[in-house]
Structure 1
Amino acid sequence: MNPLQSSVLPPASGDERRLRVATYNIHKGVRGVGPAKRLEIHNLGLAIEALDADLVCLQEVRRFHKRDARRFDRTSFGWPQQGQAEFLAPEGYDVAYRTNAITRHGEHGNALLSRWSIGEPNHHDVSDHRFEQRGLLHVQVNWQGRAVDTIVAHFGLSHSSRLRQVQRLAAFVRQELDPAVPLLVAGDFNDWGERLDGAMQEAGLRRAVAPSAKGLQRSLTFPSLAPVFALDRVYTRGWRCVSTFVPRGATWARMSDHLPLVAEFEPLEA
């Protein structure tokens, strides 16, 4: 049995009208610096399986990293031979990955793991300056015989950059996506000051908050050891959020500097 599948995580509702979505910044599958640096990608595989989500939206996912691969190849578990998106996907899930940033030793980007079949992944560059490479991963998912547009996002570190990235997201949605198709935009928005919701609403996207939630206290995801910021979110068009959950505890805190956010949705017309 997966040791993370416990009372810490509520079971999926089992209601076929509901779509369970998770978003998770996995910190490239490693934690720590210098001699204390450790490989967490194997534990993250158990974590993602335990989330039991229909769609898992991931940020900071490595396709490869030559230096870390050499370092951790000598450990008992070892660096995965495949890209992290493929390695983390539960059995039977479809995988989409697109690169955001190319670095000296490798590259990383956004990924979608889907229990449902997916279309061709697309990448839309929303980099605001040359020091931060940022992008949107767009994938259309075939859920219950209907199309669902899904965008995985990772926004910049300054508020002005994030506002411009919302504008580029809005333009992409307006120009490229069918307004009749329900939309999910999930990711790490780096919105420390809680100032993006208005701009997202102007773009036709509402933040997913469960009816029973009191403010944003239940969706705090960063830093993972003692979360005080709700950086990880889902924004939607055409969906009703029925529940949200953030798993906590020492095991979840050690795997990444972020905690995952899990949310369940129903179509508005349901």
Structure 2
Amino acid sequence: MTLQALSVLSYNMHKGFSVGNRSFVLPEIRLALHKVNADLVFLQEIQGQHLQNARQIAGWPELSQIEYLAKDLWPYHAYAKNAVYEHGHHGNAILSKYPFVSWENLNVSPFSWASRSVLHASIQLPGLSNPVHIICIHFGLLARERRRQMAMLCRRINSHVPRDAVLIIAGDFNDWSEQANRQFHHSLGLREVFQVMQGSHVQSFPVWLPIFRMDRIYYRGLKPIDCAGLTASPWRLLSDHAALTANFSLTSN
């Protein structure tokens, strides 16, 4: 059986808390993610461990956040730390309905005080002979930091991803000046799904009044079908970022 289409969701989930950390909303995030039921889920700011919150917050799951979110729907998942502190750590994660061939967490922090990483995985899809490469990112807040991170990511892709391989990069780029697009397109042959389908990157932050175009889904070797930024209820009551979704045909464009 050959898979004909692939659905993707990308989400900065703010460690399972609502805006301003007013409420612990991980159960509601789980319900919302399961309702979308994407084949691949790219998560940023997922909490790997927080010993203090586990003791103090009612409803904190016994499972890790990635196991809790993945349970019953995504049998394959990978979590990568990018920030470690006294009570725990958080980072990026990928949930997948299809098995991983490999995954690796890459440190892209150009400064000692900045904790950032890139989660690079490959998965095997039914009917495809070659693995699909998928990368979850959360870039820094400073322009000079992001430029270095972009350069690191481009070097990684050029050295580890075949030019004819299907590739998806999704996450929180913090790129309100929209500098990533030029480098991704010219250096890597990537296109951004909202720019292709709707004419511009989607406004995704803050979710209750989206102004900044922070979150992206880049691709190559696929044909986009549709995409959406999820800003209505329940999403506007969860993280401060909108979730992004995209559907692709597994036919190169």
Distance 1:104 1:32, change over 3 A: farther
Answer yes or no: is the 8 Å Cα contact 1:210–1:242 preserved in 2: no
SS in 2 for 1:153: strand
User: Within 2, Cα distance between the matches of 1:250 and 1:132?
Assistant: 33
1:23-172 equivalences under 5 Å are: 23-33=10-20, 37-72=22-57, 75=58, 78-93=59-74, 94-146=76-128, 147-172=131-156
TM-score of the two chains, using structure 2 as the length reference: 0.91
Deviation at 1:269, TM superposition (A): 3.3
User: Within 1, Cα distance between the matches of 2:252 and 2:238?
Assistant: 38
Deviation at 1:90, TM superposition (A): 4.6
Runs of 4+ in 1 over 6 A off after TM superposition: none
User: Within 2, Cα distance between the matches of 1:269 and 1:240?
Assistant: 6
- Provide the residue aligned with 1:259 in structure 2: 242
SS in 2 for 1:156: coil
User: Within 2, Cα distance between the matches of 1:105 and 1:90?
Assistant: 25
Answer yes or no: is the 8 Å Cα contact 1:101–1:107 preserved in 2: yes
Which piece of structure 1 moves more, 206-215 or 141-150?
A: 206-215
Answer yes or no: is the 8 Å Cα contact 1:191–1:231 preserved in 2: yes
Answer yes or no: is the 8 Å Cα contact 2:223–2:252 preserved in 1: no
Distance 1:211 1:174, change over 3 A: closer
SS in 2 for 1:53: coil
SS in 1 for 2:226: strand
SS in 2 for 1:39: coil
AA aligned opposite 1:17:
Q
Which piece of structure 1 moves more, 197-206 or 258-267?
A: 197-206
User: Within 2, Cα distance between the matches of 1:32 and 1:257?
Assistant: 5
Equivalenced residue count is: 248
SS in 2 for 1:120: strand
User: Within 2, Cα distance between the matches of 1:268 and 1:160?
Assistant: 36
TM-score of the two chains, using structure 1 as the length reference: 0.86
Q: What is the alpha-carbon root mean square deviation over aligned residues?
A: 1.9
User: Within 2, Cα distance between the matches of 1:212 and 1:21?
Assistant: 15
Q: 1:237 aligns with which of 196, 210, 220?
A: 220
Deviation at 1:119, TM superposition (A): 2.2
- Provide the residue aligned with 2:208 in structure 1: 225
User: Is structure 2 residue 167 aligned with structure 1 residue 178?
Assistant: no
Same amino acid, percent of matched pairs: 33
Distance 1:164 1:211, change over 3 A: closer
Deviations 1:67-95 (A, max 9, x none): 211220xx2xx111121111111514111
User: Within 2, Cα distance between the matches of 1:211 and 1:230?
Assistant: 15
AA aligned opposite 1:197:
N
Answer yes or no: is the 8 Å Cα contact 1:96–1:111 preserved in 2: yes
Deviation at 1:32, TM superposition (A): 4.8
Deviation at 1:211, TM superposition (A): 5.1
Deviation at 1:223, TM superposition (A): 0.3
SS in 1 for 2:44: strand
User: Within 2, Cα distance between the matches of 1:243 and 1:124?
Assistant: 30
User: Within 2, Cα distance between the matches of 1:32 and 1:102?
Assistant: 22
User: Within 2, Cα distance between the matches of 1:212 and 1:70?
Assistant: 45
Deviations 1:111-134 (A, max 9, x none): 001111222321111112122211
SS in 1 for 2:82: strand
